[in-house]
Structure 1
Amino acid sequence: MDRRHFVRNTALAFCVLPATIGIGGIAPRRVKADTMPEWLRTLVKQADKSIESLLTYQEKDPKSPDLGGLRDGFDLLNPHSTSALIQYGASGLFAPGSRYYRSKELLASMNLAALYLIKTQHSDGTIDLLSTNFHSTPDTGFLVKRLAMAYKMIEQSGTEGADQMLPNLKTFLIRGGDALSAGGIHTPNHRWVVSAALIKLNELWPNPKYVTRIEQWLGEHIDIDRDGQFNEKSTFIYSSLTDRLLITIGKGLQKPELFDAVRKNLDMTMYYVHPNAEIVTDASGRQDKAVVGTLENYYYPYRYFAIKDGNGQYAAMCRLIEQTAGPKMTGFIDYFLTDPSLWAELPAEKPVPVNYVKTFPNSGLVRVRRDKWDSTLIANNPVWFTFMKGNAVLQGVRFATSFFGKGQFQSEKINENGKEWVLTQKLDGPYYQPYPKESIAPDGDWEKMPRTFRPQSEVQVLETKVMIRETSGGMEIEVVTNGTERVPAALELIFRPGGTLKGVSKIENTKDAWLLKEATGSYELGGDTITFGPGLALHKNIALRGALPAMEAPTVFLTGFTPFKHVIRFS
């Protein structure tokens, strides 16, 4: 997940889900427990558990050079884990319903953490993400934006001793602001991370150089396509992050035009929801590709615009998130504590789409949903089909042949042809003639005689076409090949671990591989069942040369030879 995992067995979404939502330069007002809505009081109690856990990871030995730092799940002391204590701790000090409300003991631990952050901060104001990024402006931004929010809450909490802790935190933040005002980035969302962090600093200590740098990044425009998706197509992590950041920047600079991109992404995301309230991640260009993710990251932007716009569909999305991912919203408690406008009741709900066929050409994705089941078709991906029915999940279908070690099927495009979608691939396998005599390397070095200059012969060709159609109760796939014959082929049905397969035969000497020899198989999990078939099993060679290795999941294989022609149905 985003910015890696920092502490084991806690709900540390502050680091895991880095985002900042500000309140337009207005310092947080003192809150009363009896004025907070019940859902927020619940989050405060959950945040207490995270504070308690974080404290156990802090170095408390006064003789240690790492005094105040927090270890992560790999036993590494680092700025990210350390900042999490300040971020969560601020909510405890600030919220009257917390058992850490105005706790001098917690504040002392947070002060040690702030001193550790100063110690690990480079002279240029940056910090390191030990797993990959060093002297990193973007990672500094991830921390600064949340710590600036923490600063406000600590300042407004009335905790005794805060006036001694806050100058240390300010030192870290101001130095970080210098880095953010000049440093570079890696990825599209980093521009908005840096800009949102500078917004939060500018609310505390206005500085023209902060605004100048933000405007410079905004001059590149927002990277959103016609589908409503951002460049990284990272539906679980970075799309929702960008939504939250653009709200921060739009509010901080009074640029409501930035909200249009957020609304466009939120509208699109409603079509990326599986029936079990997981989010479609198959087309992501980042580390969340094909991961199992829920919708908690989107709660803030949906709630913000549900209330701001009176949008009933967004309100329904909020209710869905509360019901399916409520505890995971704890990582955004600072947003909710510092913006009481979010405490308002949601508008009346309106139905969200649950029955549709929707194409997203820029993402190479087609979504088919029929209430309780759905299917996703994916281009430019070796996993090009998924099927979900409640808890039962076919998380991927792949097809491969042993054609010259390059027969893993994937299609550049998904073409709609009447009532079916067509994916295609054409491969060739040439042999090579002797090298042109006049160009032969005198020393016989093979590398000096590239194949591009050798005449080709006996060229083999294999064309594969996959046709996908909706049926009365599900979907069907037809796979057809033409060209070279007698090439071993295998169709993989990859199911989510944890369920029960029936009607299939275990392949000996494998961990979790099965053959569907004939008739119909089934996969059941949590009371939901996917049926699939008919089968085909002409060989047991499932580790085809050039094919991707088997996934760590129960996998059913259908096997044959080219010319391969088979139809399999899912319901």
Structure 2
Amino acid sequence: MNRRNFVTMGASSLCAIPMLGFSVFEKRNSAEKPAWVVEWIKIHDQQLPNFKKLKVTDPKHRYVGGYTDDVEISNPHTTSGFIAKACMLISCPESSFYQSSEVLKDVEAAAKAMLKFQHSDGTIDLLATNFHSTPDTAFVLENIVPAYKFLKQSNTKGSESTLELLQKFLKNAGEGLIVGGIHTPNHRWVVSAALTKLNELFPDKRYLNRIDQWLAEHIDLDPDGQYTEKSTNSYSPIVNRSLIIMAKGLNKPELLEPVLKNLEMTLFYVHPNGEVVTEASNRQDKGTIGNMSKYYYCYRFMALQKNNGEMAAMARQIEKTSSKEQLAGYLDYFLEDPTLWKDLPADKPLPTSYAKAFPYSGVVRIRRSNWDSTLLSNNTSWLTFHKGNAVLQAMRVASSFFGKGQFQSEKIEQRGNTWVLTKSLEGPYYQPLEKDKISPDGDLDKMPRTLRKQSEVQKLETIVKIKEANNGLEVEINMSGTEGVPVTLELIFRAGGEFSGVSKLPAKENAYLFSGEKGTYTVNGDTINFSSGTIEHKNVQLRGALPAMDAPTVYLTGFTPFKHTIKLS
């Protein structure tokens, strides 16, 4: 889960102060904000009133003064989001809520609620799944730490009691962070970043000792430049932001190196329309649709820190492919550090034509100007093809081979100009047990199938070959071995387009048959061409195959030996 949802529910900033200074990082204090920063502040101005309908106003309610989510559950995440956004605007002279006594009263009430959400061990709950959660406490501190600094710097009349409440919450949270555990790899860096920010406010050797314990495990970056979770639409940008916080706050510039490597890799994970490749993730963002807005701060920071033209070019591209509301969600980072207001260095051309393998991630990325494709190992959706707004979000193939015929390949091999995916299956039968292996009581648990001799072993080998041709791809699928096995190939498209050259499959929604020479799928003027088709049966949901996706799907069918080539352009 990406807890940082500041655009509609909350944000945090240090509007009135420059970045806390550390010698290796350039500092700049400027009273005059650029127009785009002021515009972002105005966006938050428009959003703050949205919290009013979520406020708990019943004086008898345990969490009175707190805020609910969209299913009316009071929670610390929405409440901290309000505190962060409100404190930011109270502190910004450009805001219509600057030094607002009315908003300050709401912040004080919310701070009291936060202390009620907080357990005696300093932690809070993520009510959807995690309880007494150290990492979720750290995510909440991403709101509360800047809010505290913000409010303190604002010199708002009557803010002393609110600051005391926020300070109490923060120090209690610190006690939880120095002993609490985590669930996932990114949590180590989120917790460490929160401790870094706490240490800036309330220096404590225990905070630094705990950070050192986590850092002793080393940053989990593979040689491709990818983090363990491969979570391009959620946790990779979170890890990058956390490492930047730590690099600055701990005076450890070496922590910027994994950030740079990840950002360099991610340049090759961008579709021509600005979306990010998500299919290789092993977290909940797998296969989701997202643009690169979550990376904007990281690319801009590294562009200026390293005078890097590629980072600058990607930052500018993100500006063009993201909404202002998405970018404004990270306003706090840009107000904390006025050096980010500087003009970016000159662009260096971004990669737009390549075929590049990322073996540690099991990914091959192919891009040629206006189209691109992702090949994936250990993934049943082993190919995608994007052409502008038209998206083939998955290609899948399955057979009804002993209930285990859904194809995926353990690896992708390059053979000349061809990428090869393979899978071999066996379907054996089993003979009677030999006498000395029979349990006297007839208990089958004592006579596992591994003790039986196999016979009539059926085999199925699938070889998929992919190569570039005619400004697109040729995908050859060859399935051989046992004969007469039903096969179904799926071309699964993103919703929103129109087909030609296919026929509707009766009684099944979003299902189409393709037997002709040419088919197309068009979305807003962008068209993917595919050819050619084959239909030998109409069983599109084979036993043992994955259920159909909720998306427009074109089916090709046949029997083994099955050899067919699909062309995409």
TM-score (norm: length of structure 2): 0.95
What CA deviation, in whole Å up to 9, does each residue of 1:235-293 have, x standing for no partner? Answer: 11111111111011011111111111111111111110000000001111111111101
**Alignment equivalent of 1:550, drawn from 541, 548, 551:** 548
Residue 99 (structure 2) aligns with: 102
Residue 188 (structure 2) aligns with: 191
Counterparts of 1:4 and 1:408, CA distance in 2? 37
Amino acid at match of 1:470: E
Residue 134 (structure 1) aligns with: 131
- Cα gap change, 1:116/1:52 in structure 2, threshold over 3 Å: closer, same or farther? same
SS of residue in 1 equivalent to 2:330: helix
**Alignment equivalent of 2:370, drawn from 369, 372, 378:** 372
1:127-276 to structure 2, matched below 5 A, reads 127-276=124-273
Residue 324 (structure 1) aligns with: 321
Residue 333 (structure 1) aligns with: 331
| Structure 1 residue 76 displacement after superposition | 1.3
| Structure 1 residue 25 displacement after superposition | 7.1
Residue 415 (structure 1) aligns with: 413
Amino acid at match of 2:403: G
Q: Is 1:61 equivalent to 2:58 in the alignment?
A: yes
1:31-50 to structure 2, matched below 5 A, reads 32=31, 35-50=32-47
Amino acid at match of 2:229: E
| Structure 1 residue 13 displacement after superposition | 6.7
Q: Is the 8 A contact 1:150 1:334 kept in 2?
A: no
Residue 521 (structure 2) aligns with: 523
SS of residue in 1 equivalent to 2:271: coil
| Structure 1 residue 24 displacement after superposition | 4.3
Residue 81 (structure 2) aligns with: 84
- Cα gap change, 1:475/1:328 in structure 2, threshold over 3 Å: closer, same or farther? same
- Cα gap change, 1:180/1:436 in structure 2, threshold over 3 Å: closer, same or farther? same
SS of residue in 1 equivalent to 2:54: coil
1:377-456 to structure 2, matched below 5 A, reads 377-456=375-454
Q: Is the 8 A contact 1:500 1:524 kept in 2?
A: yes
| Structure 1 residue 48 displacement after superposition | 2.0
Counterparts of 2:4 and 2:81, CA distance in 1? 13
Q: Is 1:513 equivalent to 2:505 in the alignment?
A: no
Counterparts of 2:93 and 2:222, CA distance in 1? 43
Counterparts of 1:454 and 1:498, CA distance in 2? 53
What CA deviation, in whole Å up to 9, does each residue of 1:384-425 have, x standing for no partner? Answer: 000000000001100000000000000000000001000000
Tell me which moved more, 151-160 or 206-215: 151-160
Q: Is the 8 A contact 2:233 2:276 kept in 1?
A: yes
Tell me which moved more, 441-450 or 557-566: 441-450
| Structure 1 residue 22 displacement after superposition | 6.5
- Cα gap change, 1:293/1:13 in structure 2, threshold over 3 Å: closer, same or farther? farther
Q: Is 1:363 equivalent to 2:355 in the alignment?
A: no
Counterparts of 2:92 and 2:291, CA distance in 1? 27
SS of residue in 1 equivalent to 2:322: helix
Q: Show structure 2 runs of 5+ residues with no match.
A: 13-17
**Alignment equivalent of 1:70, drawn from 67, 70, 95:** 67
| Structure 1 residue 31 displacement after superposition | 7.3
- Cα gap change, 1:24/1:221 in structure 2, threshold over 3 Å: closer, same or farther? farther
Counterparts of 1:101 and 1:451, CA distance in 2? 74
Counterparts of 1:248 and 1:23, CA distance in 2? 11
Residue 486 (structure 2) aligns with: 488
SS of residue in 2 equivalent to 1:268: helix
**Alignment equivalent of 2:558, drawn from 557, 560, 569:** 560
SS of residue in 2 equivalent to 1:149: helix
Q: Is the 8 A contact 1:22 1:248 kept in 2?
A: no
Counterparts of 1:322 and 1:101, CA distance in 2? 28
| Structure 1 residue 568 displacement after superposition | 0.6
Residue 15 (structure 2) aligns with: none
Q: Is the 8 A contact 1:518 1:537 kept in 2?
A: no
Q: Is the 8 A contact 2:514 2:534 kept in 1?
A: yes
Q: Is the 8 A contact 2:9 2:82 kept in 1?
A: no
Q: Is 1:305 equivalent to 2:296 in the alignment?
A: no
Amino acid at match of 1:366: V
SS of residue in 1 equivalent to 2:476: strand
Q: Is the 8 A contact 2:391 2:493 kept in 1?
A: yes
Tell me which moved more, 399-408 or 350-359: 350-359
Amino acid at match of 1:121: Q
Residue 541 (structure 1) aligns with: 539
Q: Is the 8 A contact 2:10 2:80 kept in 1?
A: no
Question: How many residues get paired?
Answer: 560
SS of residue in 2 equivalent to 1:179: helix
Q: Give the aligned CA root-mean-square deviation in angstroms.
A: 1.9
Q: Is the 8 A contact 2:28 2:339 kept in 1?
A: no
SS of residue in 1 equivalent to 2:150: helix
Q: Is the 8 A contact 1:13 1:332 kept in 2?
A: no
Q: Is the 8 A contact 2:309 2:347 kept in 1?
A: yes
Q: Is the 8 A contact 2:10 2:84 kept in 1?
A: no
Counterparts of 1:258 and 1:462, CA distance in 2? 48
1:264-303 to structure 2, matched below 5 A, reads 264-303=261-300
| Structure 1 residue 30 displacement after superposition | 9.2
Residue 345 (structure 1) aligns with: 343
- Cα gap change, 1:360/1:22 in structure 2, threshold over 3 Å: closer, same or farther? farther
Counterparts of 2:391 and 2:45, CA distance in 1? 35
Counterparts of 2:143 and 2:250, CA distance in 1? 18
Q: Show structure 1 runs of 5+ residues with no match.
A: 16-20
Residue 2 (structure 1) aligns with: 2
Counterparts of 2:542 and 2:478, CA distance in 1? 18
What CA deviation, in whole Å up to 9, does each residue of 1:424-476 have, x standing for no partner? Answer: 00000011111233333344333332111111111100000000001121111
Q: Is the 8 A contact 1:29 1:156 kept in 2?
A: no
Counterparts of 1:13 and 1:514, CA distance in 2? 44
Counterparts of 2:155 and 2:341, CA distance in 1? 22
Tell me which moved more, 141-150 or 477-486: 141-150
SS of residue in 1 equivalent to 2:529: strand
- Cα gap change, 1:229/1:455 in structure 2, threshold over 3 Å: closer, same or farther? same
Counterparts of 1:29 and 1:152, CA distance in 2? 18
Tell me which moved more, 91-100 or 291-300: 91-100
Counterparts of 2:102 and 2:289, CA distance in 1? 38
Counterparts of 1:458 and 1:481, CA distance in 2? 19
Counterparts of 2:19 and 2:28, CA distance in 1? 13
Residue 18 (structure 1) aligns with: none
SS of residue in 2 equivalent to 1:383: coil
SS of residue in 2 equivalent to 1:558: strand
SS of residue in 2 equivalent to 1:71: coil
Amino acid at match of 1:498: G
What CA deviation, in whole Å up to 9, does each residue of 1:516-561 have, x standing for no partner? Answer: 1111110000110000010011111000000000001000011000
SS of residue in 2 equivalent to 1:53: helix
SS of residue in 1 equivalent to 2:490: strand
Tell me which moved more, 226-235 or 143-152: 143-152
SS of residue in 2 equivalent to 1:56: helix
| Structure 1 residue 486 displacement after superposition | 0.5
Q: Is the 8 A contact 1:13 1:330 kept in 2?
A: no
What CA deviation, in whole Å up to 9, does each residue of 1:26-55 have, x standing for no partner? Answer: 9x99975xx211221221122123322123
TM-score (norm: length of structure 1): 0.95
